[in-house]
Structure 1
Amino acid sequence: MKADIGAVIVTYQRYNELKLTIEALLSEGIGLKDIFIIDNNQGESKDQKFYTQFLGVNTIHPNENIASSGGFALGMQYVHKVGYGWALLFNDDSRPLKGALNAFYDAINTLKNKPLGLVKIANLNSNGEAIVLHWKGVRKPSYHSISNVPIESDLVTFDGCFIHKDVFDQIGYCDPSYFMGTYEFDYCLKAKDKGFKIYTLPNGLIADEKLGSQGGTPPWRQYYNTRNHLHLGIARRDLSIILAWLIREAKFTYAIFRFQDQKKRRLYLKLLAFLHALKGIRGKVII
C-alpha cells in the first residue's frame, strides 16, 4: 500500500538548495502539485522567476519571516486541509535519497496495526551510524547500525519526518510561537500524550547539509534555545525538563566564558531568555 503524501519545504533565501530538494522529491514520486513550499523570503524580494521552472508547485509567502516553527505549522495546515494521509517535512537544505519513500511504505506496512503518529528518516553521524533520539528532559541520542527495521522512539526532528493526518486531527499543528527551536520536541511530546507511536527508520536515506548549523551557534539562536527549553518545562509542569535545562544551561554558560566570542552579548541574551520564559513571552523577539 502506498500512502498519499503532501510534502512541505520551509525555505529562506537558499534557492540553490531548494531546487535540489524539489528535484529529489520529484525523483521519489512526489508530484509538483503535492509539494507545498513555505517561502519566508517575503515582500518584493521573493524570487518569482525561480518558481517558473516548477509550474504547479504550491508556494506560500507569509507576510513576514515566521521562521521554521511557523513555516512548518503553516505547511502542516495546508497539507491537512487538502486531505493527504501523511505530511512529509523538509528544510530546504535536506532532502530524501533514492529509495527513501519505498522504505517508508515498507515500514508503515509492517507497523499497520500500530497507532502511527510520526516516522522519521534517520540522519547519520560521522561514523555512519543512524541517530535515534530519546527524551530525558532534553534530547539524548542513541546510535544504531543502518537497517530498514523501524526503531520506536519518543522524539524526532522534522527534516525527513512523516506525520499522519490523525495527529493533526487530535493535536493540531506545531506551535509557531516557539519561532526557532524546541517546537519539534514539544510536538512529539504532545503526540505521545495522545498515544501516538513515533518511529525512526535507521537507513540514513536523507541528505542533510545542516547549513543553519555551520559556523557555530549565533547569539540570537542561543536566546531561543534557552527560552524555549525552559518554557517547555514550565508549560508541561515537568521538573525533569527544568532540571535538564539547568544542567544544560550551566554547561553552555561555561562554554561561553571559556571558548565563545561575543561573551557579553551571549550572556545578556541568555539572561533575557530566562526572564522571558518566566514571563511567558513568546514568538519572534530577536534575530
Structure 2
Amino acid sequence: MPNLTERLHQYWLLARFDKPIGILILLWPTLWALWIAGNGKPDLLVLTVFVLGVVLMRAAGCVINDYADKDFDPQVERCKLRPIAAGKVKPKEALAVFAVLCLTAFGLVLLMNWYTIALSFVGAFLAASYPFMKRFTHLPQAYLGMAFGFAVPMAFAAQTNTIPSVAWILYLAVLLWALVYDTMYAMVDIDDDLKIGVKSTAILFGKRVREITAGLQVIILLLLISVGMMQQLSWPYYLGLLVAAGFSVYQQKLIFHFNKPDCFKAFLNNNWFGLVVFVGLLLAYNL
C-alpha cells in the first residue's frame, strides 16, 4: 500500500495538481467565453464539463510537457526535481497517465454536441504538440496561446453550436495573453534555455521584452474592450478591464529589472488579471 500511495503521489506531482496556478490561468478565459456565449447564464452541464475539462487537460499538458522535456529538465534548476527528471516516474508511465487523463476528458466531451466533439480533436492536438515546439521555433509561447485559448471557440460551440466573430476576437486576446504571461515565465529560465539550446520568446525578444510585452498587453485590453462593445456589456465589465490594466502595469514594474523571482511573480499575477475580467463580466450580466 505505501508503494501505491507513493506512485499516486508522484503522478499527482507529475500532473502539477500541487500547483493550481496553471488550472486557474486556463480556467478564467474559459469562463469568460462560457459567460459571453451563454449571455450571462451558461448551461450547467456545459459549465461542469468545461471546468472539469480544464483541470484534466491542464494536467495532461503538464505530463506530456515533462515527457517531451525529459532530457532537458535535469539541466534546468527549476525543473530538475520534477518526477521524470528525478527518476521517480518512468517515461512510459507518464505516457500512460497522459492517455488516462485525455481519455477521461474526451469522455466528458462526448456529453456535448458534435461540433464541440470535432473541435476537441484540434484542441487535443495543440495541447499534445505544444511541448515539442521549443525545439523548432522561438514562438512556443504563441503556440501555447493557441492551445490554451482553444477552449474559447469550443465553449461557444458547446453553448450555441456556432462560433461567432466575437469568439475569434476573444480567442486572439487569450492567445496574446498566454504569449505575454508565458514569456514572463520563460524569463525565469532564460539562462538555462540558452545553455541547452531551447527556444523561447524571452530569448527572441531579448532586451526589448518589456516593450514588446507591454505593447501586447495594450492590444489585449483593446481586444477585450471590443468584445464588450460587441456584446453591449455594461460598465462593471469595463471597470474590471481598468483593474486588469492596473495589474498589467504592475507586471511591467516587476519584470523591469529582469530579476528572476520578480519575473515569476509577474507570471503569477496574471491569475488576478483573469479573475478581475471575469468578475467584471459576472457583474455586467447580473446588475
Return the TM-score normalized by structure 2: 0.28
Which structure: greater helix fraction? 2
Which structure: greater strand fraction? 1
